[in-house]
Structure 1
């Protein structure tokens, strides 16, 4: 079976093709642990250049959270002025990091490839729902769901998935991301569209291992 890392490029290509169409579909997809929902809104508008959403690796493996943070910082500098790295998480398939604005507001989410050090916008919501930094950027697009409504939507999804619960939502431009919990421990994460209420489980991470908070 192909690993998630081996599927890195094909997944990016697939998402790019979805973003290039006149519309996106919303459907249920089996992610190996239950359904996940894909969704999108409006006509596609590219947010920034393709180069700004990708930082090539140097083939130097990323061995820990500190090195992943350094790589994410390098990527943040190419994506936008003043962006900084907040939370960093290590999963079996990749590292995950949140980028923040200078005022602490959440900007977007990125993945760091542990084997090469390559960094890119995260699959899914960060690419397709982020109204400022994503492939369908629409700066100023209004959010229709509050954080409380997003949490309720996420918990309703979690109730149907092996007794999961969800943590507090973190607001990104156009969507919310929440940790999913199993016995009060982080199991993974999902996102809720602030426009449609669609739920997208982050099935590409693998198992959670450790994390560090932002400074």
Structure 2
């Protein structure tokens, strides 16, 4: 009887040790995998969404100059070939910088990017850029892959989209806000500037198939707009 009890307790002890070892191994592997996650505003895993950390990171607490941001984005775009260029850079006081990218041959919007002004990390903007983009959709997975669906037919033209956007901001933000139509037509949607008292204060997008509005509420206070083209 005593031997049986010893055997039972031996099995229990062995099982507990095995579980502890297994858990320790899992915890170690989980911690290592977590190191690959680039966290920025709670949105992205760099491996899934195409985020890239600039190899020349700024080691100080000062923001990178707009010229450096432009250079970093231009280097980033080389991986897509030679037909993409920076259109606008939006500099925010309390959020990542926004960059609109357009095709050189058509002048049409290609994609929207966000850049961490301290580290130089570049990644796709959330929202319409990832969900509605019919050609350069980051939801297709990976840094270099894109959806070449450029043969679709838009059902909402630019004039109609501006009217939809303007009605939206007036109803949601107030009568002092307007959407005059400045912005870019991307594959699948438009992104327009929001004005208040003749000053750009933000942006929103309108789906060119459904007319759905997506307000970009993650940017914060706009400090400066730099137009490259």
- Give TM-score scaled by structure 2 length: 0.69
RMSD of aligned residue pairs (Cα, Å): 2.3
Q: Distance in 2 between matches of 1:121 and 1:64?
A: 20
Aligned to 2:185: 171
Q: Distance in 2 between matches of 1:12 and 1:157?
A: 28
Q: Distance in 1 between matches of 2:167 and 2:39?
A: 30
Asked whether the 8 Å contact 1:130–1:173 carries over to 2, the reply is yes
Asked whether the 8 Å contact 2:64–2:120 carries over to 1, the reply is no
For structure 1, the 5+ residue unaligned runs are 1-5, 17-48
Aligned to 1:8: 40
Aligned to 2:51: 54
Q: Distance in 1 between matches of 2:103 and 2:52?
A: 19
Pair 1:67 & 2:68 matched: yes
Deviations 1:92-112 (A, max 9, x none): 201111111122222111111
Q: Distance in 1 between matches of 2:212 and 2:66?
A: 31
For structure 2, the 5+ residue unaligned runs are 1-37, 141-146
Q: Distance in 2 between matches of 1:7 and 1:207?
A: 21
Post-superposition offset of 1:62: 4.4
Q: Distance in 2 between matches of 1:110 and 1:76?
A: 11
Indicate the SS of the match to 1:123.
coil
Aligned to 1:25: none
Decide which structure has greater helix share: 2
Asked which structure has the greater RCO (Cα within 8 Å, sep 6+), the reply is 1
Pair 1:214 & 2:228 matched: yes
Count of aligned residue pairs for this structure pair: 175
> Greater Rg, structure 1 or structure 2?
2
Asked whether the 8 Å contact 1:62–1:117 carries over to 2, the reply is no
Asked whether the 8 Å contact 1:170–1:178 carries over to 2, the reply is yes
